[in-house]
Amino acid sequence: MGRVIGIDLGTTNSCVAVLEGGEPVVIHNQEGGRTTPSMVSWNAEGEVVVGAASKRQMVTNPTRTVFGAKRLIGRKATEVQELASRLPYKLVAAKNGDAWVDIAGTPRSPQEISAHVLAKMKRVAEDYLGQPVTEAVVTVPAYFDDAQRQATKDAGKIAGLTVRQILNEPTAAALAYGLHHQNNQRLAVFDLGGGTFDISILAIENGVFEVLSTYGDTALGGDDFDRVVIDLLADEFNAANHLDLRRDSVALQRLKEAAERAKIELSSAMTTDVNLPFIAAGQAGPVHLMRELERGQLERACKPLLDRLEAPCHKALADAHCTAADIDQVLLVGGMTRMPAVQERAQKIFGKPGSKNVNPDEIVAMGAAVHSGIMGGELQEVVLLDVTPHNMGVKVAGDRMSVVIASNTSIPTRAKKVFATTEDNQTFVAIEIHQGDDEHASKNRRIGRFVLGDLEPAPRGRTKVEVSFTMDADGILEVTAVEVGTARAATVTIEASSGLTAEEIANLGMRVAR
Residues 366-425 that bind other proteins (CB under 8 A): 371, 374-378, 380-385, 394-398, 400, 402, 410, 412-414, 417-423
- Sign of CA pseudo-dihedral 383, 476, 395, 500: positive
Residues 7-66 contacting other proteins, CB under 8 A: none
H/E stretch holding 373 reads helix 363-376
Q: Tell me which stretch binds other proteins (CB under 8 A): 51-59, 206-214, 259-267, 297-305.
A: 206-214
Answer yes or no whether residue 445 interacts with other proteins by CB under 8 A. no
Answer yes or no whether residue 352 interacts with other proteins by CB under 8 A. no
Nearest approach, Cβ of 208 to other proteins (angstroms)?
Answer: 5
Answer yes or no whether residue 434 interacts with other proteins by CB under 8 A. no
Count of residues that interact with other proteins, criterion CB under 8 A = 78
472: annotated active-site residue: no
191: annotated active-site residue: yes
Nearest approach, Cβ of 148 to other proteins (angstroms)?
Answer: 19
Helix/strand/coil (H/E/C) assignment for every residue in 348-370: HHHCCCCCCCCCCCCHHHHHHHH
The closest of 154, 165, 50, 63 to 508, measured between CA atoms, is 154
Angle at which helices 340-350 and 310-319 cross, to 10°: 30
Q: Is 266 exposed, middle or buried (0-12, 13-18, 19+ CB in 10 A)?
A: buried
Q: Which of 59, 92, 322, 324 binds other proteins (CB under 8 A)?
A: 322
**In angstroms, what CA-CA distances link 175 with 170, 179, 331, 474, 505?**
9, 6, 11, 17, 32
Nearest approach, Cβ of 429 to other proteins (angstroms)?
Answer: 5
Q: Tell me which stretch binds other proteins (CB under 8 A): 14-22, 245-253, 306-314, 459-467.
A: 459-467
154: annotated active-site residue: no
Residues 123-162 contacting other proteins, CB under 8 A: 135
Q: Are strands 135-140 and 162-168 parallel, antiparallel or unpaired?
A: parallel
Answer yes or no whether residue 164 interacts with other proteins by CB under 8 A. yes
Residue placing its CB nearer to other proteins in the complex, 78 or 380 = 380
Contact 452, 489 (CB under 8 A): yes
Choosing from 135, 191, 198, 223, the catalytic residue is 191
98: annotated active-site residue: no
Q: Tell me which stretch binds other proteins (CB under 8 A): 72-80, 118-126, 243-251, 471-479.
A: 471-479
What is the number of alpha carbons within 13 Å of residue 339 lying toward its C-beta? Answer: 28
Q: Which of 78, 85, 131, 206 binds other proteins (CB under 8 A)?
A: 206
Answer yes or no whether residue 482 interacts with other proteins by CB under 8 A. yes
Nearest approach, Cβ of 467 to other proteins (angstroms)?
Answer: 9
Answer yes or no whether residue 494 interacts with other proteins by CB under 8 A. yes
E-strand ranges in 429-476 read 429-435, 445-452, 464-471
Give 246's DSSP letter: G
The verdict on whether omega for the bond into residue 459 sits within 30 degrees of 0, i.e. cis, is: no
Answer yes or no whether residue 311 interacts with other proteins by CB under 8 A. no
Answer yes or no whether residue 1 interacts with other proteins by CB under 8 A. yes
Residues 186-205 contacting other proteins, CB under 8 A: 186, 203, 205
Contact 26, 16 (CB under 8 A): yes
**Annotated active-site positions, please?**
8, 70, 169, 191
